[in-house]
A and B are shown apart, each in its own frame.
Chain A
Amino acid sequence: MAEVRPDEVSAILRKQLAGFENETDIYEVGTVLQVGDGIARVYGLSKVMASELVEFPNDVMGMVLNLEEDSVGCVLFGESTLIKEGDTVKRTNRVASFPVGEKLLGRVVDPLGVPLDGKGTVQFEKYMPIERKALGVIQRQPVKEPLQTGITAIDAMIPIGRGQRELIIGDRQTGKTAVAIDAIINQKYTHTDEAKKYGVNPVFCVYVAIGQKNSTVAQVVAKLEEAGAMEYTTVVAAAASTPAPLQYIAPYSGATLGEYFRDNGRHALVIYDDLSKQAVAYRELSLLLKRPPGREAYPGDVFYLHSRLLERASKLSDNLGGGSLTALPIIETQQGDVSAYIPTNVISITDGQIYLEPNLFNAGVRPAINVGISVSRVGGNAQIKGMKKVAGSLKLDLAQYRELEAFAKFGSDLDKSTLRTLGKGARLVELLKQGQYAPSPVEKQVLSVFIGTNNYFESIEIKDVKRFEKEFQEYVELKYPQILENIRQTKEMKDDTIQLVKKTVEEFIEKFKKS
């Protein structure tokens, strides 16, 4: 055990005392009129600002949401049982804000920046307000750099660009969070020296957990730690047991941290998991504040609730440093009903959606992405040229396959070309299956998609497709590493590379068949 020296202790005490000012403290106060259900009405606080933080006794914080003629409506971020009528409420002169800075990476915090991981106080640079106006047209530029998720199906057909907002939507237990976590893990590559060499800028991640079980959050954090992804990730957690107001502000806190990176010319990826629970939390406190309910009892401004959050995703113009904030909101649907209120709202706000289906999931197609209705409105700008080239026909092939699949079920006689299309489609579906926590780098994705769309699988059994892909990648890595190197460097599939790949595949097929 380390020894404690008395002179050291007094030195520390003196240091702390040095900053202590013995002056009259001036503050503004109000009185609690009514408290209950996480809401307090306060008399006084006449100069308080909307969404300012106020301090109740017993270290309970609150946020001002309603300013009325004779009273102020506050939501409480703590236990309402700790507060009683007549208690004094103090202003803090600070609108609800979140601590930002480098040191938040690797931490798990609540939406007010209070650490939840037991690693001591959070060191931060400054406080930034959680509600900030989204940037205007002048400050932005079109999305153009790819954000690789490491999931072949997404990177090939539904590419996500840095600064984009792509919704992940699906029923419960369809792997929504898994897609998001894989995307975080895949950013590890962008922090390496190798990525720097090829001009890929690092992406910092923020994972906002809203209304989830604490055990689930712990699991995600453990997984990220295991994959070494916590070094560049912050988890903002408002678990199911936290009061609704904290769940409501959690995504804004996450966005604020993302904006900090963006405004410093860096790149951020923020995942909101999930916004349907945030809407429910907001509905709860709106109803308690006696705001009139609308459709599905959500308040009238529930669209604005999500639009102002997702509008903060942006790609800055080069004058402002060219940073970006990519948002991946998650929405959970009930029984596949995408026409419910919240899903339609968020679908219309975002730049596309990744639709996950339980049927596909149960059929073993994982990630269970329905490529037919999943889209990315940014499109090819968010892909490297090489991927754009090879993935062009992939979506079409799969569409044709799905169309014919219905016929094939009748068991009627099929002509040769139909059988061929069906076979190709089935092999492509097999090829796009991918394990969890196993993101694949873009050059390997390009390679796989290339052999898939160019019919090299025709002679391979469906069950062998995955094995073929894996072994082929290993083969290329060992024998022709220049292929991968070439794609990484030029980000293109030049003709000579294509020739070389073709030669290699043919060579490999011979060997594969013998084995």
Chain B
Amino acid sequence: MSVFRISYRYANSLMLLAEEKNIFQKISDDADLLFNTLNASKELRAVLKSPVVKSTVKKSLLEKIFQNKINSETQSFINFVVEKNREDILFDIFKEFLVLVDKKNGVVKAKVVSAVDLNDQLKQKMVGGLEKKTSKKISANYHVDPNMIGGFIVRIEDTVYDASVKHQLSLLRKKFSEEINISNN
């Protein structure tokens, strides 16, 4: 089965549990923490993926790292995942969980890339404009890429709004390289 399907199934069940016990906010905070930790530490991911490390070791390792930092429900969920030998996709499970959280809250993530650092006023204007366009709440993260000369690129899910000077220039280049028939036009 594909990783996507498995992680979706685990994430969804965690979601249902959180809703049932009414601790949704707590669990989603835990998920955030777990996702960020796993995202930051390549070694931890490598250990979890490694078939050489015994599952008991993995279990105690995870317990030691996250002890007192997460809720008991989350802790037991992690233990459950390890018991089922799915610790290799723990990262994907929490990634999927956060997607579900966003969906529930009606939030979409936007990646904004601009040539220069945007000030707060511009950022607010940008988010406001995007929220109006998508009619969803936007949680944006910002990047700077001087290579694009000017303008900005926003990516929301699979859709890209490209208003960068670099892209405009490449379009212009394409346009100029097109052959035009002088006699016919």
Contacts and interface: CB of A to CB of B under 8 A. Distances in A.
A461 B97 CA distance: 91
Interface string A23-47: 0111111100000000000001111
A19 interface: yes
B2 interface: yes
B5 A70 contact: yes
A315 to B, nearest CB: 35
Contact of B185 (A13, A15, A70): A15
A123 interface: yes
Interface in B146-172: 155, 157-163, 167-168, 171-172
B80 interface: no
A121 interface: yes
B19 to A, nearest CB: 24
A68 B4 CA distance: 11
A375 to B, nearest CB: 49
B176 A16 contact: yes
Contacts of A44: 158
Contacts of A26: 159-162
A66 B168 CA distance: 32
Interface string B76-116: 00000000000000000000000000000000000000000
Contacts, number: 58
Contact of A27 (B160, B178, B185): B160
Contacts of A15: 180, 185
A120 B178 CA distance: 11
A30 B175 contact: no
B181 interface: yes
B5 A69 contact: yes
Give the size range of A's interface with the partner.
Answer: 20 to 34
Contacts of A120: 179
Contacts of A28: 158-160
A476 B4 CA distance: 80
A20 B174 CA distance: 11
B170 to A, nearest CB: 10
B182 interface: yes
A121 B179 contact: yes
B29 to A, nearest CB: 27
B181 A22 contact: no
Contact of A70 (B2, B163, B176, B184): B2
A424 to B, nearest CB: 61
Interface residues of B, number: 25
A29 B113 CA distance: 15
Contact of B182 (A12, A22, A30, A46): A12
A45 B157 CA distance: 9
A123 B180 CA distance: 10
Given A13-B176, A69-B5, A29 B168 contact: no
Interface string A246-280: 00000000000000000000000000000000000
A28 B176 CA distance: 24
A144 to B, nearest CB: 40
Contact of A69 (B2, B155, B160, B176): B2
Contacts of B168: 22
A69 B6 CA distance: 12
A29 B2 contact: no
Give the residue among B158, B168, B179, B181 with the most A Cβ atoms within 10 A: B158
A30 B158 CA distance: 6
Contacts of A13: 176
Contacts of B162: 24-27
A29 B176 contact: no
A13 B181 CA distance: 13
Nearest to A70: B4
Contacts of B184: 123
A22 B175 CA distance: 12
A19 B176 CA distance: 11
B158 A45 contact: yes
Nearest to A11: B182
A70 to B, nearest CB: 3
B115 to A, nearest CB: 15
24 contacts: A12-B180, A12-B182, A13-B176, A16-B176, A16-B180, A19-B175, A20-B171, A22-B168, A24-B161, A24-B162, A24-B163, A25-B160, A26-B162, A27-B159, A27-B162, A29-B155, A29-B159, A44-B158, A45-B158, A69-B4, A69-B5, A70-B3, A70-B5, A123-B184
Interface of B: 2-5, 155, 157-163, 167-168, 171-172, 175-176, 178-182, 184-185
What are the 10 closest A-B residue pairs judged by CB atoms, nearest first? A70-B4, A24-B163, A25-B162, A44-B158, A28-B158, A121-B179, A46-B158, A28-B159, A29-B160, A26-B161
Given A25-B167, A26-B162, A69-B5, 15 more contacts: A12-B180, A15-B180, A20-B172, A20-B175, A25-B162, A25-B163, A27-B162, A28-B160, A29-B158, A29-B159, A46-B157, A47-B158, A70-B4, A70-B5, A121-B179
